[in-house]
Amino acid sequence: MALTREQVVDQAVEILDSYGMADLSMRRLGDALGVKAGALYWHVANKQSLLAAVADRILSQVVGQQMAIADPAAALLLWGGGLRRVLLAHRDSAELVATALASGLCEKDPTEDPRRWLVEAGLDQQRAGWAAQAVLHLVLGHVSEEQNILVMKQLGLLPGGASGSEGFDFALRCLVEGIARQLP
Amino acid sequence: MALTREQVVDQAVEILDSYGMADLSMRRLGDALGVKAGALYWHVANKQSLLAAVADRILSQVVGQQMAIADPAAALLLWGGGLRRVLLAHRDSAELVATALASGLCEKDPTEDPRRWLVEAGLDQQRAGWAAQAVLHLVLGHVSEEQNILVMKQLGLLPGGASGSEGFDFALRCLVEGIARQLP
DNA sequence: ACCTGAACACCGTTCAAGT
DNA sequence: ACCTGAACACCGTTCAAGT
């Protein structure tokens, strides 16, 4: 049977989880699928769009809460925490998602839900967009660092010990409180 | 005369500014210096530490304000804005600084000043560190996006028009206000 | 329609050997 | 001390040709 674009993305996620972003090359991906690297270009325009598809796959696992109107601040906190949890489940995902989003090739806009909640809470479109982007940047930056530290620990360059999420929670709470104060 | 590590870093910054991070390869850097790529490894351990040196060079341009005790929130706003200004002066610098800081090879810790101000304002060491990191992540994330959009516009993939700093200012103000509310 | 073979134009890094 | 030459083991991408 012929290869599917879905199988290509599946295998890419698998390589990412097992070996990290540095080992996610078109050649290795081809090998893992029993196919020459050039064959992948039948299913995917280029590596950038492959990475975008991987990012979309990962971001689709983030749940959209419904508790918007009830308390937008609580919803933002839950959303940020959920996004972090999903990212931590895939090696190097924060960096990958950041670059993929920057490339403009992702189909999903992860800030869509929080933006809507903020608009429903009375913020204008522009400020809502800015605030949602800020939360996204904070989460991606923090998780990116968490994942880099994880790698260092595994290489023995850093002492072990679970990192915990207090730092993330504190930072996210600060930002969300500041955003909440802008609501009418 | 023989090459200097300083000249290597200088030329690297020049290539970064003129051609972007993708064109900053050891081979191109060697060519620009009239030297084979392998020769660079006499002055620099590897590419990662070269990038760290470039990041240090850029970060050294950020001014450390003195107005800490007077008003820590105002100091954080000024610092964030100053960091953004410095980053916007060097192409692709936000992404480069983010990866360089993540590598742990940078000499300078850019959060040192803001962390100290927050401690002087009464925050404990841990929270001060978390808050300063949060501001850094927000700035790097935002400027990274600004610089990517700039590239897209230059390639004609996005309509022109100056972007302005309102989005950045709003996001930074939200975070800093949230941090200020944690002060005793 | 889907894949191979083979090439093109690159990478970072190492290291004997030159000066 | 500092650099060249030349190699090693990789990249992403293209594209005629096969099936």
**Structure confidence at residue A64 (pLDDT):** 73
Question: Which residues of A, range 5-64, sit inside 8 Å of B by Cβ?
Answer: none
- Which site among A83, A153, A175 would you substitute to test the B interface, given the most B Cβ atoms closer than 10 Å to its Cβ? A175
Closest CA to B99 of A162, A110, A46, A21: A21
A179: its two tokens: 């955003």
pLDDT in tens, B81-104: 999 999 999 999 999 999 999 999
CB contact under 8 A, B134 and A138: yes
Q: Which residues of B touch A170 (CB under 8 A)?
A: 127, 130-131
Instruction: Judge whether residue A14 has pLDDT over 90.
Output: yes
Please calculate the CA angle B147-A113-B165 and round it to the nearest 5 degrees: 30
Task: Please tell me the pTM assigned to this model.
Answer: 0.96
pLDDT in tens, A21-40: 999 999 999 999 999 999 99
A38: its two tokens: 């050039």
**Structure confidence at residue B66 (pLDDT):** 64
- In this structure, are residues B88 and B40 in contact, taking their beta carbons and an 8 Å threshold? no
**Structure confidence at residue A94 (pLDDT):** 98
What is the identity of the amino acid at B70?
A: A
Instruction: Judge whether residue B73 has pLDDT over 80.
Output: yes
Size of interface A-B (CB pairs under 8 A): 110
Instruction: Judge whether residue B169 has pLDDT over 90.
Output: yes
Q: Which residues of A touch B141 (CB under 8 A)?
A: 98, 133, 136-138, 140-141
CB contact under 8 A, B144 and A178: no
pLDDT category of residue B161 using cuts at 50, 70 and 90: confident
Give the number of other Cβ atoms within 10 Å of residue B161's Cβ: 7
Q: Does A178 touch chain B (CB under 8 A)?
A: yes
Task: Give CA–CA dist A49/B133, Å, rounded.
Answer: 31
B80: its two tokens: 């964030």
Q: pLDDT averaged over chain A?
A: 95
More confident residue, B90 or B156: B90
pLDDT category of residue A156 using cuts at 50, 70 and 90: confident
**Structure confidence at residue A68 (pLDDT):** 57
Q: How far is the CA of B38 from the C1' of D5 (A)?
A: 10
Instruction: Judge whether residue A163 has pLDDT over 90.
Output: no
